[in-house]
Structure formats: C-alpha cells, structure tokens
Amino acid sequence: MTRHRNHGLGRLVARRLLVLPVVLVAVAAMTYLLVAVSPFDPMSAYEAGSAGLSAQAKDEIRAAWGMDAPTYLQFLHWLGNVLQGDLGHSRLLGGQPVLPQLGARLAPTAILVGTALALTLVGGLLAGVAAAAFRDSWVDRAIRGLSYVSVAAPSFWTGLLLLWVFSSWLGWFPAGGSANLRARDVGLVDPRYLVLPAIALAATQFAWFAMFVRNQLLEVMREDYVVFAQAQGIGRWPVLLRHALPNALLPFLTLAGVHLAEIVGGTILVETVFSWPGLGQLAVEAARAVDLPLLVGITLLGSVTVVLGNLLADVCYRVADPRIRESTA
C-alpha cells in the first residue's frame, strides 16, 4: 500500500515537473507576443516633455539593449540565454541581471502572499464552520453579509478603508511601507507593517473559502452517515467537526490551489496601495517601461508559484483522501 501510494504521488509530481518547462516557455512566448502587439514604446521612458529623441539616438539605445531585432528573434535570443541560466538584464533596474534582482525583491511579496493565504484559509475555515454551525442565525447572516461585501469590494478600496480606520484614525498600524524608514539594520519586514496589507489581500479571497466550507458542511450534514451519527445521540459539535468537516475539507485544498493564483495577482493592487516593496509594484513598472526581461522574469516567477501551489494542493489532496490515492496507484 505505502509503496504504491508513493509511486503514484511520485508519478504525479514527476509529470507536473516535466510539463513545467513547457508551460514556462509558452508563458514567456505569450508575454513577448503581447508586448509586440501592445502600443507601448520602450523609448518613451527615455523621453521627457516636448524634448523628443532623434531617430538616431533611439536606434543607438535600441541597439545597445538588443531591441533592434524583431520580437521573435529577441525571444529566441532570450531563450538561448535562459538555457545558460541568464534571464537577461533589466533597463528598469540599472541594467542589472534580472535573476538576482528578482531574488532580492521576492521576499516581501512571498511573505505577504504567505500571510494572506494563511489568513484566508484559517479565517475562511473558522467563518465557514461557524456559519454552518449556527445556520440561519445572526452569526450565519453576519458571516454571509461580510462575505458578500468582501467579494464585491475591490482590494484597493478595502485597503484604503483599512488605512483610513486603523492607521489615520486609530493609529494602530503604520500608513504603508514594510518597515520603519528611520530604523537601521531593518529585517525583511516588520510584522506591524504586514497586518493591514495581508488582511486587505486575504479579504479578496476569504469569502470563497468561508462560503465553500459552509455549503460543504451543510451538504455533508445531510449525508446518511451523519444522520446516523446524530441518531446515535452524538452532539452537534462532534458530528460537525469529527465526521462532517474532514470530508468537506478535501475540495477545500483544491480551492486553495486555484485561489493562490488570485492572491498572487492581487498583490499588484495591494502593494501599490500599501507602498509594499514587492514584485507586484515592480510588475506594473516593468510593463509600463516595456522592460521585457524583467516583465518576463516576474511573469515566470508567478507561473512557477501557481503551478507549484496547485501541485502542492493535489499532493495534499491525495495524501488526505485514500480513494484518490488508490485510483492513481
């Protein structure tokens, strides 16, 4: 049994990891294609006011950055360099190599996404269980109401609201950034600076999980074995938590994998509102400046995160559910 299970899991992981490079090349090609058809001109970043650049100056700058070749050749050139571990140099970041720059900027975003994901899962689970347990009571109605509002509200609006209440008005949290600007030798991020952006980011996805858990629980509660358990005289909470919840949790994992992509994408707005020094803000800048190596680097990083996140969710799913375990074995 155990050997079989590991075998199945191993195959799943191997298959996904083999497909990953194909996915990444396709994503990179799509990014190049999108940029090729977009109206943005990389030269505009070099011009100011009415003082335009001469055609010769533009040609020189394009040549210096290899932007004088057709886009498909630029892509092939880039692909060749990637095979040697070089993701290119970013005009937007002082001409520095993309990979180490991304590495340096990854941590704040990873911390923000990780915290928001944890908040979403825990918050969604607790709220869903509470709503199911007190179905149709004020607790349920309040949680449902909050869910509808948080799904409907755009994250920048939620973010501004949080800043207004908890920073400007109550003064509990700082008004943006990731660490005290005056402090020396600061760490990666200061937890107090993390709270509001993490909540704003989690708020965008929290409702999906809360409503999902609630509905799953209510459905499972109608299953025969739950009815049987209740008939045996087992109390409401043990039935809910010990019998119903584990079964409701399985699809929850898949949902987490899917919504990870939404959370990663949501960082663009949230980081801008909270001046959070992460990749989301940088992605916007890279797109505006048509800094292709940087833009592609960030896009690939996002893609890897989403693919690995989904894989992790699937692995957990299989480990948790013996039926799926056996069918793949």
Partner 1 sequence: MRLRWIVALTAALSLGLAGCSSQPNSSAASGDQVDRTIVIGVGGEPSNLNPVFGDIYGSVYGDHWPVFSSLLDYGQDLELQPDLAAELPEVSTDGTEVTVKVRDDARWHDGEPVTAADVAFTYNAILDPSVATPVRDLLFRSLRKVDALDAETARFTLHEPDQAFLAKLTTGIVPEHVLAGQDLNKAAFNLAPVGSGPFVFDELRPGERIVLTANPDYYGGEVGLERVVVTFVEDESARVRQLETGALDVDAEGLGPQTIRRFEDNPDYRVVRIPGDLLTLTLPTTNAFFKQAEVRRAIGKAIDRQQLVDGLAAGAGRVVSGPFYPDHWATDPSVSVAYDPDAARAELAAHGWKPGPDGVLVRDGERFRFDLIYGHGYAEDAAALAIRDALGNIGIEVKPKALDYAEQQKQVAAGAASLQGLGNAYDPAIDVFDTYHSSLSDDDPSGNVARVESRRIDAAIERGERSNDLAERTAAYHELHRLLVEHGSWQYLMQGDNYYAVRADVSGVEPQVREGHVHGFSRGLLWNLADWSVSGP
Q: Which of residues 179-238 bind partner 1 (CB under 8 A)?
A: 179-184, 186, 191-192, 195, 235, 237-238
Using the minimum distance from each CB to partner 1, give the nearer residue, 75 or 173. 173
φ/ψ (deg, to 5) at 48: -145, 130
How many residues lie near partner 1 (CB under 8 A)? 76
- List 166, 218, 262, 265, residue binding partner 1 (CB under 8 A): 166
Instruction: Select the span of 101-109, 136-144, 212-220, 299-307 touching partner 1 (CB under 8 A).
Output: 101-109
φ, ψ (nearest 5 deg) of residue 97: -60, 140
Stretches 220-228, 261-269, 277-285, 310-318: which one binds partner 1 (CB under 8 A)? 277-285
Does 246 bind partner 1 (CB under 8 A)? Our answer is no
For partner 1, the closer of residues 24 and 199 by Cβ is 199
Tokens of 123: 């918050």
Tell me how far apart the alpha carbons of residues 57 and 43 are, in angstroms, rounded to a whole number.
10
Task: Choose between 180 and 327: whose C-beta lies nearer to partner 1.
Answer: 180
CA distance 214 to 224: 18
The residue among 179, 245, 242, 198 whose CA lies nearest residue 217 is: 245
Burial class (CB in 10 A: 0-12, 13-18, 19+), 21: exposed
Q: In the complex with partner 1, which residue's Cβ is closer, 106 or 308?
A: 106
Contacting residue, 71, 81, 254, 275, with partner 1 by CB under 8 A: 275
Task: Give Cα 2 to chain centroid, integer Å.
Answer: 33
Only one of the segments 214-222, 243-251, 256-264, 268-276 lies at the binding site for partner 1 (rule: CB under 8 A); that segment is 268-276
Give least dist CB 259 to partner 1, A: 20
Rama region for 291: left / alpha / beta (φ>0; ψ in -120 to 50; rest): beta
- Binding of residue 254 to partner 1 (CB under 8 A): no
With vertex at residue 276, the alpha carbon angle to CA 275 and CA 280, rounded to the nearest 5 degrees, is: 105
* Greatest alpha-carbon span in the chain: 86
116: its two tokens:
């928001």
- Specify the residue, 35 or 313, whose C-beta has the smaller distance to partner 1: 35
Q: Which is nearer to partner 1, 129 or 256 (CB)?
A: 129
Least separation in angstroms between residue 97's CB and partner 1 is 8
Phi, psi of 234 (to 5 degrees): -75, 140
Q: Which stretch binds partner 1 (CB under 8 A): 4-12, 102-110, 224-232, 305-313?
A: 102-110
- What span, in angstroms and rounded, lies between the C-alpha atoms of 264 and 302? 7
Q: Does 265 bind partner 1 (CB under 8 A)?
A: no
Of 80, 95, 145, 246, the residue at the interface with partner 1 (CB under 8 A) is 95
- Sequential DSSP letters for 240-261: IIIIIHHHHHHHHHHHHHHHHH
Binding flags for partner 1, 34-53, as an x/- string (CB under 8 A): -----xxx-xxxxxxxxxxx
C-alpha to C-alpha distances, 164 to 172, 204, 266, nearest whole angstrom: 11, 18, 20
Closest to partner 1 by CB, 49 vs 70, is 49
Closest separation in Å from C-beta 311 to partner 1? 29
Stretch that binds partner 1, among 17-25, 61-69, 136-144, 252-260 (CB under 8 A): 61-69
